[in-house]
Amino acid sequence: MIRLCAFGYAALLGFVILTGYIPLFIDQNDMIFGLFRRTWYADGLHLVSALWALAAALTSRRASELFFQLFGVFYFADGVLGLLTGSGYLDFGILINGVLNLPLSTRIFANAPHLGLGGVAILIGYLLVPRTRPVHA
């Protein structure tokens, strides 16, 4: 089950990359959902994350567990920083843009994906994993 979840995350993160190339999701200012500018480093981050999830799923249950535990913390912390400052760290936004004076609603919508992906990964990695770990006789 944990490995299946990792396959799901790989597919979801792959879809995240694709949204930047599907006209339906791009507004007149070339922004994804009106919130995100497509950048090579954001695409790279999502691609590396998708490949990490896929590699973990293909490797073992333990690799998948570790993926969810680490990925969850990294992405959730990025979302929290983005919510507080308007810039995350995984895409180097805090280094490139510094603290941004954005409306709270923009910060919420812009960081909801990392809070959600990271939060669910934390739940999988720290709550679901122990409950589904096989018991050895």
The answer to the question of residue 43 being in a domain is yes
Number of domains in the chain: 1
pLDDT at residue 136 in the model: 62
CB 102 within 8 A of CB 57: no
CB 9 within 8 A of CB 121: yes
Instruction: Give the end-to-end CA distance of the chain in Å, rounded to a whole number.
Output: 20
pLDDT bin (cut points 50, 70, 90) of residue 134 is confident
Q: Read off the pTM.
A: 0.86
Tokens found for residue 57 = 């799923």
- Residues 87 and 92: their CA atoms lie apart, in Å, by 8
The answer to the question of residue 18 being in a domain is yes
List the domain range (segments joined by +) for residue 13. Answer: 1-132
The answer to the question of residue 62 being in a domain is yes
CB 68 within 8 A of CB 121: yes
The answer to the question of residue 137 being in a domain is no
Q: What is the pLDDT of residues 35-76, one digit of tens each?
A: 777 778 888 999 999 999 999 999 999 999 999 999 999 999
- Residues 39 and 5: their CA atoms lie apart, in Å, by 27
